[in-house]
Chain A
């Protein structure tokens, strides 16, 4: 489990000789094992923030990950290697091949019997399941989820959100989810960080006050999500 601390973290990109600020002095502290959802409008820099946490981008400011995390990432799109079968895609994430573990995870995400198929042979939902399995089978201490269900139809997305809760219950990872879906944030997270439009700054940070397991039928979840939308609109 990893503790995540950000202090005055900023990020700018240089485009055509101009410096464009994307993230402005972002700060938060996430305790080990907590689930944080980052909510903000499209294009505000949420993915950039995740890329920084994954070590894919440089930044200004302070970022502390203690102890040194084993990071895993579920991308917006499955990002599988098209020339490898699903089981070999999962094995690719491991430092050493462990096909027993690969098959266990394929079964856990409902892909038993599909291990020898290539990504293009299965549906996008199944590819995304494989992407989630790949991220979880390395037993991460910090799991980053970048709108993992946005490319799926709502029915499949909801099924996967429910299943994700179950998979995460068996994991000790600290989780950061980027989303623009307030209900998804309310359903999955312990805390929600609200970001403004670009350059993104923190508008608010709220604890989600509902015990688990949560139900999407519960009216208080919808009410909380509507509150998040209102807070986002006020802050823009």
Chain B
């Protein structure tokens, strides 16, 4: 009885249950719809290993990751700069307002299609369109972080004669870090979804293209295997960002002593 209660109180119990339930639903769907229409985890895994042995999987995942990371880096760099400026200057924020509202409201497929039509079916169009889709979200989140900066801490730094680098490192960054890490996680997630979509629409390589290829072959194992591969890669990257975010905020977890 006490062992059962201890298990239920353990947070890992719920985590493991959560992931196990995904596998169970997948298995149940496979059993219900049949392996041909809905391959289960063993069939998908076998296909994934086959693609790996053929030497196709890793290069294709690598190409997609390269595009994702490029779009991610560009949108984070531009979004941080513009969001910071918008948070500090009301005039600049107003100047940006229309573009941000348009960027947030526009259907996400539109910039991809427009970029392919205007620039051509190439790398630049794919990455640029995803950058434009993601950028407004980064700007808004960083801007809110900058608005939440505590002005009294700036006063304190000014009184003690601190220079811009010390203020940036000791006062601004620790306050902005939770917003930046949170934004980085959501941006990465949005980037990879959009890149796969852009590949599916107009590229001849990458995971999105492979999914499109196996869709035309009506091969569900291929669709699921490539989807699973890129999901696992991005889950690993997200875990890295989460680790960095938790490390930056670890001071919060200390218990009171007096």
Which positions in A face B, CB cutoff 8 Å? 51, 54-56, 71-73, 75, 77, 79, 81-84, 92-93, 95, 114, 117-118, 120-123, 126, 134, 138
Q: A82-B251, A93-B160 are in contact. Are A121 and B258 (CB under 8 A)?
A: yes
Given contacts A56-B155, A56-B159, A77-B152, 19 further A-B contacts (CB under 8 A): A56-B158, A72-B159, A73-B159, A75-B152, A79-B155, A81-B171, A82-B251, A92-B160, A92-B170, A93-B160, A114-B257, A114-B258, A117-B254, A117-B257, A117-B258, A120-B256, A121-B255, A126-B258, A138-B160
**Contact between A79 and B153 (Cβ–Cβ < 8 Å)?**
yes
**Contact between A83 and B174 (Cβ–Cβ < 8 Å)?**
yes
Interface code B137-154, partner A: CB below 8 Å = 1, 0 otherwise? Answer: 000000000000000110
Q: Which residues of B contact A117 (CB under 8 A)?
A: 254, 257-258
Cross-chain contact of A55 among B158, B170, B171 (Cβ < 8 A): B158
Taking the complex as formed, is B161 at the interface, i.e. its CB lies under 8 A from any CB of chain A? yes
CA distance A117 to B256 in the complex (A): 9
- Tell me the nearest residue of chain A to B249, going by C-beta: A83
- Min Cβ gap A70→B in Å is 9
CA distance A82 to B254 in the complex (A): 11
**Contact between A123 and B258 (Cβ–Cβ < 8 Å)?**
yes
CA distance A219 to B156 in the complex (A): 38
Cross-chain contact of A54 among B159, B166, B258 (Cβ < 8 A): B159
CA distance A126 to B174 in the complex (A): 23
CA distance A95 to B155 in the complex (A): 16
**Contact between B251 and A122 (Cβ–Cβ < 8 Å)?**
no
Main secondary structure of the interface of B (DSSP, over half): helix
- Min Cβ gap B145→A in Å is 15
Q: A95-B161, A117-B257 are in contact. Are A81 and B155 (CB under 8 A)?
A: no
- Min Cβ gap A176→B in Å is 13
- Min Cβ gap A153→B in Å is 14
Cross-chain contact of A71 among B159, B170, B252 (Cβ < 8 A): B159
Q: Which residues of B contact A93 (CB under 8 A)?
A: 160
**Contact between A84 and B170 (Cβ–Cβ < 8 Å)?**
yes
Interface code B85-114, partner A: CB below 8 Å = 1, 0 otherwise? Answer: 000000000000000000000000000000
Q: Which residues of A contact B251 (CB under 8 A)?
A: 82-83, 118
Which positions in B face A, CB cutoff 8 Å? 152-153, 155-156, 158-162, 166, 170-171, 174, 251-252, 254-258
CA distance A71 to B157 in the complex (A): 12
**Contact between A73 and B258 (Cβ–Cβ < 8 Å)?**
no
Q: Can you report 22 A-B residue pairs in the complex whose CB atoms are below 8 A from each other? A: A51-B155, A54-B155, A56-B155, A56-B158, A56-B159, A71-B159, A73-B156, A73-B159, A75-B156, A77-B152, A82-B251, A83-B174, A84-B170, A92-B160, A114-B258, A118-B251, A120-B256, A121-B255, A121-B256, A121-B258, A122-B257, A123-B258
Q: Which residues of A contact B257 (CB under 8 A)?
A: 114, 117, 121-122
CA distance A77 to B158 in the complex (A): 16
**Contact between A81 and B258 (Cβ–Cβ < 8 Å)?**
no
Q: Which residues of B contact A51 (CB under 8 A)?
A: 155
- Min Cβ gap A128→B in Å is 13
Cross-chain contact of B156 among A79, A118, A120 (Cβ < 8 A): A79
Q: Which residues of B contact A95 (CB under 8 A)?
A: 161
Q: Which residues of B contact A83 (CB under 8 A)?
A: 174, 251
Q: Which residues of A contact B252 (CB under 8 A)?
A: 120
- Tell me the nearest residue of chain B to A93, going by C-beta: B160
- Min Cβ gap B142→A in Å is 19
CA distance A122 to B161 in the complex (A): 27
- Min Cβ gap B84→A in Å is 19
**Contact between B159 and A120 (Cβ–Cβ < 8 Å)?**
no
CA distance A54 to B170 in the complex (A): 21
- Tell me the nearest residue of chain A to B255, going by C-beta: A121
**Contact between B159 and A118 (Cβ–Cβ < 8 Å)?**
no
CA distance A134 to B258 in the complex (A): 20
- Tell me the nearest residue of chain B to A80, going by C-beta: B156
Q: Which residues of B contact A71 (CB under 8 A)?
A: 159
Q: A81-B171, A84-B170, A95-B161 are in contact. Are A121 and B254 (CB under 8 A)?
A: yes
Q: Which residues of B contact A54 (CB under 8 A)?
A: 155, 158-159
- Min Cβ gap A66→B in Å is 19
Q: Which residues of A contact B158 (CB under 8 A)?
A: 54-56
**Contact between A81 and B160 (Cβ–Cβ < 8 Å)?**
no
**Contact between B152 and A79 (Cβ–Cβ < 8 Å)?**
yes
